[in-house]
Amino acid sequence: MDAGLKSNILSQGMNPDTVAQQIQHFENGFPFLNITAPATPGDGIKVLSDKELRHFLITYPEKASKVEVLKFVPASGAASRMFKDLFAFLEGDGDISKSAFVQKFMNNIEKFAFYEDLDEVLEGQGSSIYHALDTKDYKSILAALLLDEGLGYGNLPKGLLKFHRYKDGRRTPAYEHLIEGVQYAVGKGSIVKIHFTVSPEHAPKFKAEIEKILPEIEKEFGVNFEISYSQQKKSTDTIAVNTDNTPFMEEDGSILFRPAGHGALLENLNDVSADLIFIKNVDNVVPDRLKDETKTYKMAIGGMLLEAQEKVFAALSDLDKRENEQSVAKAEEVLTNDLGVKVPEDFSHLSIEAKAAFLKVKLDRPIRVCGMVKNTGEPGGGPFWVMEEDGFQSLQILETAQIDLNDPAAKEHFNAATHFNPVDLVCATRNYKGESFDLLQYRDMMTGFITEKSKSGKDLKALELPGLWNGAMAGWNTIFVEVPLITFNPVKTVNDLLRDEHQ
């Protein structure tokens, strides 16, 4: 790296060594992962019986009341992508016959929870939704919805949009996450801890929304909330390059650095402290009438994690006291039966001391339980068995880009997958001595993603860090459990709010 480039990188507060590694990733790409099979029911995915569900519904609340529970909600993204089709219409010729999406939006506009607020904006402009529809002035409706002179939904985060209508008012996803928190994230001292990752420009409005609704919820449910916030760290941004892998330069001579995807939030997760951490995307919420299933399975995966953790901690404590056949056999049973790791055939030939050393390393790491839903064609990573360099096989959540579909065996495994990842997980990030793991040590930096983008009419390549629930957690112990599809209700476009699950 020449001195001029290094100076430019330093002047932007970035690390030249890190940037050099990123450029190497652009030049060399990322290797495909060695998948040995899809995780399926009976082979990597647990399917809970009614008896097991009832067990966790009984045991989880008592155990949770003795530990710190936190709900971690990635909520940084703007909602602009939700309204992509509406923006295109607003900037186009106004011919609604060309857009089935806009037609559906207009034909069902009264079903949206923001309908009353939108009508109020138009009335303030001397119009109304009824009048605008009657005169086919669709652009005035969309301008009132999307632009800052109106509701400004095009520039707000998803967490602050009105999603659901109730008899006594309308709720945002932020509001729904607080209600969910009461249902399954009450921890020690009857405290509900929720952490939102928000963008700097959205933080004031986010905090104002929470402060407005919090007293009423605390009073109604008799719990106390501790709400915290963080922002994606600028230091996690990655360099953008031209198609020849040279740094992409801005017109002012600076280098373009871009946010590195949800994997950058690993640092935010690393900074929070709790015994049990639920992770759920901000837009995956439902009205109260559908929350029971979510509550049931959140308590189930939380209970599963606490029970697995108890066994891991006991096995590690035993290995600390004595390394004999009994303690090693117990630790191996926990690793294979409770955590589902597949050990290599030659493991049985190792000495007791060598086995104990291996088992300590394999057991003493963060644990996560991930809900998996049956594959219905929705986008999302999938659960697979991956062969590690040491011969052990672990459970991982992989994106399509990490699988070599030109390899017939890998493609066969990919096509045989039965489930996908709805981003429904609970994590334990403290070790058996009560110390927090450094989560950055369990990330596989060779599992990033390279994407093609453009800026100012010029093509560029961007680098995403290993995904938060993908390579960022590659070194964790993982348990997959089947959860019902009703627990997965993301809102990718505004018209998704017309689904029955959001009405």
Q: How confident is the model at residue 381 (pLDDT cuts 50, 70, 90)?
A: confident
8-54 tens-digit pLDDT: 888 888 889 999 999 999 999 999 999 999 999 999 999 999 999 99
pLDDT of residue 379: 56
Q: How confident is the model at residue 184 (pLDDT cuts 50, 70, 90)?
A: very high
Label residues 136-174 b or e (16+ Cβ within 10 Å = b): eebebbbbbbbbeebbbbbebbbbbbbbbbeeeebbbbb
In angstroms, the CA 92 to CA 86 distance is 10
Return the SS3 of 394.
Answer: strand
Cβ of 438: how many Cβ atoms within 10 Å? 11
Cβ of 42: how many Cβ atoms within 10 Å? 8
Burial of residue 433 (number of CB atoms within 10 Å: 0-12, 13-18, 19+): exposed
First-to-final CA distance of the chain: 56
Residue 1, pLDDT > 80, answer no
Please state the domain extents for the chain. 3-75+168-502, 84-156
- Candidates 119, 36, 40; CA nearest to 387 is 36
Residue 359, pLDDT > 60, answer yes
pLDDT of residue 3: 82
What's this model's pTM, rounded to 2 decimal places? 0.93
418-468 tens-digit pLDDT: 999 888 899 999 999 999 999 999 999 999 999 998 888 889 999 999 999
160-170 tens-digit pLDDT: 999 999 998 99
pLDDT of residue 6: 87
- Candidates 19, 464, 447, 401; CA nearest to 248 is 19
Strand partners, 45: 41, 480
Contact 369, 481 (CB under 8 A): yes
Average pLDDT over all residues of the chain: 93
Instruction: List, as one string, the DSSP characters of 156-175.
Output: SBGGGS--EEETTEEE-HHH
pLDDT of residue 460: 92
pLDDT of residue 264: 93
Mean pLDDT score, 289-308: 95
- Of 269-273, 319-323, 337-341, 374-378, the range with the lowest mean pLDDT is 374-378
Contact 38, 334 (CB under 8 A): no
Q: Which two tokens stand for residue 399?
A: 């994106």
350 secondary structure, DSSP code: S
Contact 290, 179 (CB under 8 A): no
Distance from the Cα of residue 478 to its chain's centroid: 15
Please tell me which residue, 58 or 76, carries the higher pLDDT value.
Answer: 58
pLDDT of residue 261: 87
In angstroms, the CA 406 to CA 500 distance is 39
Pairing of strands 367-374, 449-455: unpaired
Report phi then psi at 91, rounded to 5: -90, 0
Residue 380, pLDDT > 80, answer no
Indicate the class that CATH gives domain 3-75+168-502. alpha beta
Q: How confident is the model at residue 301 (pLDDT cuts 50, 70, 90)?
A: very high
pLDDT of residue 378: 62
Report phi then psi at 228, rounded to 5: -130, 160
